[in-house]
């Protein structure tokens, strides 16, 4: 019988890799994990957590303004980017420490080094050769840059979290969730923001009403959002950046952020030596059990390019560990996953868009409401909240729920349970609302839109 150094070796200590490692070790497996950067991965170090902290911070300028009509007198407010960055760094360091403790507790051995395949059971880890019966790839993804001349002058979300000074004039390239989030963040901190997207509307793949509503709200917040527009050239002139657009016009900025896509981290880790197959996008190809083309090698999270969300990576890692080491075989469930965009205002959804529901079910019923939230009846702000339900007429099941507005992610998380369990519109209607809240609108929508 072949003897290996470890039952399981995990490459990457992001959310998915850490979850898989500690659950497998908890089931009794001998586990090691390698991480070349910082424990916690994209989400903790330079993704979800710092981004939401920034988004929260960017909300305060409106809160100060809104307070006036509630009787508060607020003195002149100033903002310190270095203070925010220092406090963010302290919090990220604290969370990284927690991730290391989560691994140390069940006895996972940690390598602070890059791991690369030598063969299907052998890895080079920072110059040391180790073997494992099973290897899990959890290396995540990274942002890409465009290919126009001068694209090397752009920053990505990675660098945005390390800026020494806040730029006063920012161009954000892209129309996905990272682009709209950072456009709102920079605008909230007082920058002049121009967002450029080459498509016809931001948030491709989201419900059409959500896309249009958010675009309108972002423009109310003085974000110069331009669709069907792209950069063809970027030049540095002194301390400034000059972007030439597709229509021939130019914009001067202090920073240009490219939020135009992410790719799986599959290069440079010897996957070809192990025989692991990749798809056309460079993602690791896996089956429904997260198994790759090689029997003893698995992959989870963004490196597989299935559903690139932190909770999904956690779920996939947990399923993997339970299946192989916990005698509880279960496949990852990728159906009806709720998600959020921490834009200004927030977006949250679960289930199908109206277009996707019509394609799948044919006959659907749409319930939609747009209203001024109670807070802004006194603040005077012209912000509107959107709520929408998509219902399959044949079964009366709610197959999609969508919201744009304050606290949308907190509200949709609860709605997601109902949608996941197959709740009907009649059951939504039978639920008594909590008054006065925005959330009650989801159980008081009675009249379908035409």
Q: Give the residue numbers marked as catalytic.
A: 435
Cα 12 from Cα 70, distance rounded (Å): 49
Decide: 138 and 11 in contact? Cβ < 8 Å: yes
Structure-token pair, residue 104: 């140390």
CA dihedral 373, 376, 380, 385 (to 10 degrees): -40
Closest CA to 384 of 366, 370, 367: 370
Cα 223 from Cα 172, distance rounded (Å): 10
Give the CA count within 13 Å in the CB-facing half-sphere of 177: 19
Beta bridge partners of 197: 227
Contacts 24+ apart (CB under 8 A), 368-375: 368/209, 368/445, 368/449, 369/441, 369/445, 370/213, 371/441, 373/405, 373/406, 373/438, 374/436, 374/438, 375/66, 375/406
Cα 431 from Cα 293, distance rounded (Å): 48
Packing angle, helices 81-104 and 15-26, rounded to 10: 20
Sheet containing strand 385-392, edge to edge, reads 339-341, 347-351, 398-404, 385-392, 364-371
Decide: 80 and 166 in contact? Cβ < 8 Å: no
């Amino acid at each position: 019988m072949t003897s290996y150094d470890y039952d399981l070796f995990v490459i990457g200590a992001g959310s998915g890799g850490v979850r898989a490692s500690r659950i497998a070790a908890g089931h009794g497996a001998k586990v090691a994990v390698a991480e070349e950067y910082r424990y916690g991965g994209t989400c903790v170090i330079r993704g979800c957590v710092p981004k939401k902290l920034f988004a929260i911070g960017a909300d305060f300028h409106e809160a100060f303004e809104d307070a006036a009509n509630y009787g508060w007198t607020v003195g002149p407010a100033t903002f310190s980017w270095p203070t925010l960055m220092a406090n963010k760094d302290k919090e990220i360091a604290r969370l990284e420490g927690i991730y290391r403790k989560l691994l140390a507790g069940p006895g996972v051995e940690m390598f602070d080094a890059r791991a690369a395949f030598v063969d299907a059971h052998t890895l080079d880890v920072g110059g040391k050769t180790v073997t494992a019966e099973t290897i899990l790839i959890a290396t995540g993804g990274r942002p890409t840059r465009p290919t126009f001349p001068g694209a090397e002058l752009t920053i990505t979300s990675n660098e945005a979290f390390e800026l020494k000074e806040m730029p006063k004039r920012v161009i954000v390239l892209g129309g996905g969730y990272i682009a709209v989030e950072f456009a709102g963040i920079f605008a909230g901190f007082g920058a002049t923001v121009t967002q450029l997207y080459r498509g016809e509307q931001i948030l491709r793949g989201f419900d059409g009403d959500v896309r249009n509503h958010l675009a309108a709200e972002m423009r109310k917040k003085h974000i110069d959002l331009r669709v069907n527009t792209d950069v063809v050239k970027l030049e540095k002139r002194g301390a400034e950046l000059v972007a030439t657009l597709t229509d021939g016009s130019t914009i001067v900025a202090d920073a240009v952020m490219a939020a135009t896509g992410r790719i799986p981290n599959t290069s440079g880790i010897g996957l070809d030596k192990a025989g692991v197959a990749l798809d056309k996008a460079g993602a690791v190809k896996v089956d429904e059990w997260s198994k790759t083309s090689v029997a003893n090698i698995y992959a989870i999270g963004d490196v597989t390019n299935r559903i690139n969300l932190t909770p999904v990576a956690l779920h996939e890692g947990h399923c993997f560990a339970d299946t192989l080491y916990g005698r509880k075989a279960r496949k990852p469930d990728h159906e009806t996953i709720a998600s959020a965009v921490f834009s200004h205002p927030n977006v949250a959804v679960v289930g199908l868009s109206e277009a996707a529901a019509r394609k799948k079910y044919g006959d659907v019923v749409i319930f939609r409401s747009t209203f001024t939230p109670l807070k802004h009846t006194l603040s005077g702000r012209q912000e509107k909240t959107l709520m929408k339900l998509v219902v399959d007429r044949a079964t009366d099941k709610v197959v999609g729920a969508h919201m744009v507005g304050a606290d949308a992610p907190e509200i949709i998380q609860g709605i997601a349970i109902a949608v996941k369990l197959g709740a009907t519109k009649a059951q939504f209607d039978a639920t008594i609302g909590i008054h006065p809240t925005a959330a009650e609108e989801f159980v008081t929508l009675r009249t379908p839109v035409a």
